[in-house]
Amino acid sequence: METLRTGLLGVALLSLALGAGNALCADVSKQRFPDVIAVSVQARGADSFDFDVTVSSPYDSAQRYADAFRAMGKDGKVFGERVLLHDHAGEQPFTRDLHGVRIPRGVRVVVVQARDQKHGYGGKTVDVALPGR
């Protein structure tokens, strides 16, 4: 009897896990934009910065992929953009750099946002403080 209970409990837990996985997949399939999930920034001069940006786009394929990301001010002014020329389906999430971004001295925080070739810019952003400011 104990073996039967243990077996049934295992089946129930497996069913819950599979159900949760299917719910997660359903949410991902509705995602319209890639998400920026991490950013590191280094100063390269008084007004120049290098960014390493990690992007997640679960729908990445040759037909639809994250094709750019940008660093911008809170007011929407774009300081730099990196265009991506191919999908990263075999590398999720992926990290790419953006070097030599000139940012005016009065700016202390930038917003990093990714773009999808179908829907444009959107998704989760990361606000990053500029070192030395």
Cα distance from N-terminal residue to C-terminal residue, the chain: 68
- Give every CB contact of residue 105 below 8 A, 6+ residues apart in sequence: 46, 47, 133
| Cα-Cα-Cα-Cα dihedral sign, residues 25, 28, 29, 30 | positive
- pLDDT for 47 equals 96
Fold of 33-129: Immunoglobulin-like (2.60.40)
Query: How far is 98 from 32, CA to CA, in rounded Å?
Result: 24
Tens-digit pLDDT profile for the chain (133 aa)?
544 444 433 433 333 333 433 333 345 557 779 999 999 999 998 899 999 999 998 776 777 889 999 999 999 999 999 999 888 888 889 999 999 999 999 999 999 999 998 889 999 999 999 999 9
Going from N- to C-terminal start, the domains of the chain cover: 1-30, 33-129
Output the pTM of the full model.
Answer: 0.75
Vertex 11: Cα angle to 7 and 16 (nearest 5) = 150
Query: How far is 80 from 59, CA to CA, in rounded Å?
Result: 25
